[in-house]
Amino acid sequence: MNRIVQRFADLRARGSKGLVIYIGAGDPDLEATRQLAIAFDRAGVDVLELGVPFSDPLADGIVNQLAAQRGLESGTTPPKVLATVGAIRRESQIPLVLYIYHNLLHRVGVAEFIRQAAAAGVDGLLVLDLPPEESDDYEALMAEAGLCPIYLIAPTTPDERISLIAPRARGFIYYVSREGVTGMQSKVSSSIGEKTAKIRAHSPLPIAVGFGISDAAQAREVAQHAEAIVVGSAVVTRIAALGHSPDLVPQVSAFVRGLVEAVRG
């Protein structure tokens, strides 16, 4: 079974909520990415999203844009990210999603990229700028490879579009809790419960809520309305501050461990 599907099945069986963590691959370098992935697994993270550095990350706010820039500056490329996934797989079975822009798949060829990702040990792709209406071939290739196509639903997504997107997703549905790009927020949206209920009317898949969750208190609050929460910019900010410090992995994983505890309740 796909690792994402298995992990959410395990969480459901335990009556527990999940934690998805996002980091930029190659920030500050790919060895740090490998070490952080293993540390997050040990800390109890359920799914790790690796942002594949791209020069024009339209869905991202400044924190993750700068992470992508640092990744590019460290020499990170899609083949090197897949090699790092392979290295992670030698020590960890944490479910892994690549957060990626379509140009990077297109350059290699969608079928070939999916084949390489599956061979490396990737479990799902979140292609930020690939709309479901243009995804038939992509979804068929993903199904053949055993990978989960993760889709985003936003607060502005109309009901008829939710009914199109939700049934096509696999693994989990990523609900963007607010309008705009990624980034930390001082408070969470008051409409999360209403929106996740609408999504559930169209799909039994777990819902992971992200975009703006900054600390353990917010994580605990959002977990009331979703099967998982996603934290990215708050983790990336700490990675940026610590850089190549020997304290990087212990300090960031300690922060993440606090999020795990908050989500588990």
Instruction: Quote the CA–CA distance of 90 and 236 in Å, as a whole number.
Output: 24
84 Cβ contact partners less than 8 Å away, ≥ 6 residues apart: 25, 30, 33, 34, 50
* The two structure tokens encoding residue 51: 């942002």
In 3D, which of 244, 259, 6 has the Cα closest to residue 124?
Answer: 6
- Tokens in use for 206? 């777990």
Look at the alpha carbons of 23, 36, 77, 107 in this order and tell me if their dihedral is positive or negative.
negative
Which residues belong to the active site?
49, 60
Burial class for 75, CB neighbours closer than 10 Å (0-12, 13-18, 19+) = exposed
Write out the H or E segment, with its range, that includes residue 166.
Answer: none
**CB neighbour class for 16 (10 Å; exposed up to 12, middle 13-18, buried from 19):** middle
